Structure 1
Amino acid sequence: MNSKLLSFLEEIKAQGNMSKAAQALFVTQPYISRVIKNAEVNFGVRLIDRSSHPIQLTYAGEKLLSYLQEENRLRANLDREMTHLSEFKYGHLTIASNEILPNDFYDPILIRFSRKYPKIHAQVIRTNSRDAEKRLLSGSLDFFVGHPLSNPKVEYQPVASVPLVLVIPESSSLFTPGKFIVDYDTLDFTKLSGEPFIGIPQQDYYQRLVNNFLSDLNVSPEYSLKVPDIHLSADLAVNGLGATVSPEVFATKPFITDEQQKKLNIVRIPTDKITADFGITYMKTKQTSEPVTDLLGIIKDVVSEYAPKK
């Protein structure tokens, strides 16, 4: 029950709305309400201020959430430490990543790590920055490969910067016929204001980065499509559904065909204008055992092969 209560309180705090929290967690709103109400009866305090809009956790709710997160983190650390003490192996490591790099990026990481530690089960999952931060703090995640997380409880090691491009479809007034690669300095980007753009959730670090970049260009995009991740937004832009800012790797083969090239402009954005910095984030309390240290080194080596060094 504690794990459910933890996830419910975290999502209610993030969403400020019981129904949205239920949708995000794929449960019904009455079920969340029942679990919260039972906890309030059990502790004899109100956990949710339902009179505020958006709804908020009460002081008691915030304290309970903090204790549940710490309890979850300690339990996860205990499980790992006990496994580590048995035959010097962790048994299980979970690596999360956002979608800024292609899936085949993880092949050499897992191959190299598994060859050295064949008895350790390593799992790779996809998640956004906000969820990765929650999972790191709760102890259910070992590493996050992606954008920097601004939390004093985590350690961030920068690795590389991913070059970005602007994908312009044939329908745009900024489109230059007969060219695939268009020079950044030749364009009047203000023409993009009000045109269809494809974006990802606004709370994501990457989308905030893109928003600031477009604002500096005096561009007010019309986000006609919002999708869960960068890879999908790039794929839809390549198919002509709108403009987007994408990692350059997703605007090259095999993600784009010769026929699609005829209906697109790709604008390489100078690195002094915008890049997607990323690295490895983990809890500051993480044990620096041999498997963990080796995994950090492997990730750094592989990432360096995919992107220019900082």
Structure 2
Amino acid sequence: MALDRETQLIQILESLARTGNISQTASELALSQPTVSKLLRTQEKAYGVDFVDRSTHPLKLTYAGEYYLSKIRGIAQAYQTLSNNLTTYAADAHGRITLGINPSLAQVILPQILPQYHLRYPQIEVQLRERDSLSLQQSVQNGDLDLYIGVTPAYNAALAYQHLYSDTGALVLPERLAPQTLPSGPVVDISPLVNGKDFISETPDSDFQRTVDGYLTKYNITPNVVLQTANLTTACVLATAGLGATIIPLSMPTHYLQDTAVTTLPLAASVFQTEVEIAYHQERQLNTHVQAFIDMAIATFEDNATT
């Protein structure tokens, strides 16, 4: 919808309300008097009302003219705002990014990226979905999500991957399961600490749990799994309550474990290591703000690795 005719009529009515004279209005707007009269008559005919009371001198706007002028000003301003915003949207200054991430990993990654991303792109809306790894990967493949961040998933030819960072693991032992003498340094084989003991694991659809399961199988470790949870924070809290041991990413914040009756032992990187990746659809072209998120995330964790 174009408002050129209405904008011109606004100028004519504003001038007439001020000058009360067609000739002066024509002069102010650099138009001929017949042109002003014709434009005015055409719009009056279109709406079926008189905008100008021609029986008075100087001329005055009718009630309909005053009403039209007050309302059309707002419409014209709203249209201009709409037009300007659409131009801005086309330049990717506004928009939306849909991001999927496992709840346990979200607390490690998002605090390091989202605050600075929001400061840099305050008009970009971030929609976050925290679910299990498999469903999030499927959402990226279906085009329902722009990005997925997670531990390296099973290979999917429809997805492209960019490496974010490498991580190891840590064993969290409640007081009742911790031995009197603890190993020094990163642990290679935790079987003496976990084999046959109560253990809390993530649900099987977790890519991190897939790494844990591979490690346990390699060392023939068979813990007594008393609970499976989709959130490793829940596993940690339950470990502090004495339910069982659990394995978490070493980078996972554990400030809530301080002053609790648990022991945290890092696992050796030579036997337990995960790769955290950003995944997106192989055939979809990334828009500016999605690519900016990826670039910022990679730069952030590269900086962390060098400090």
TM over 0.5, yes or no?
Answer: yes
Match of residue 155 from structure 1: 160
Inter-partner Cα distance in structure 1 for 2:256 and 2:89: 45
For the Cα contact (< 8 Å) 1:84–1:91, is it kept in 2?
no
Match status 1:127 vs 2:131: yes
Inter-partner Cα distance in structure 1 for 2:214 and 2:272: 9
What percentage of aligned pairs have identical amino acids?
Answer: 21
Match status 1:196 vs 2:198: yes
Of residues 286, 298, 304 in structure 2, which corresponds to 1:300? 298
Q: How does 1:244-259 map to 2 (within 5 A)?
A: 244-250=246-252, 252=254, 254-258=255-259
Consecutive unaligned residues of structure 1, counting only runs of 5 or more, are 1-82
Match of residue 216 from structure 1: 218
Q: How does 1:84-99 map to 2 (within 5 A)?
A: 86-89=89-92, 91-99=95-103
The alignment yields a C-alpha RMSD, in angstroms, of 2.7
Match status 1:176 vs 2:174: no
- Residue 176 of structure 1 aligns to which amino acid in structure 2? P
Match of residue 266 from structure 1: 264
Match of residue 118 from structure 2: 114
Match of residue 77 from structure 2: none
Q: Give the length in aligned residue pairs.
A: 219
What's the TM-score, normalizing by structure 1? Answer: 0.63
Inter-partner Cα distance in structure 2 for 1:292 and 1:134: 18
In the TM superposition, residue 193 of structure 1 has moved relative to its aligned partner by: 2.1
In the TM superposition, residue 140 of structure 1 has moved relative to its aligned partner by: 1.4
Match status 1:140 vs 2:144: yes
Consecutive unaligned residues of structure 2, counting only runs of 5 or more, are 1-85
Match of residue 68 from structure 1: none
Inter-partner Cα distance in structure 2 for 1:249 and 1:221: 23
For the Cα contact (< 8 Å) 2:100–2:128, is it kept in 1?
yes
In the TM superposition, residue 111 of structure 1 has moved relative to its aligned partner by: 3.0
Match of residue 165 from structure 1: 170
What's the TM-score, normalizing by structure 2? Answer: 0.63
Inter-partner Cα distance in structure 2 for 1:118 and 1:184: 42
In the TM superposition, residue 256 of structure 1 has moved relative to its aligned partner by: 1.0
Inter-partner Cα distance in structure 2 for 1:286 and 1:238: 44
In the TM superposition, residue 104 of structure 1 has moved relative to its aligned partner by: 6.7
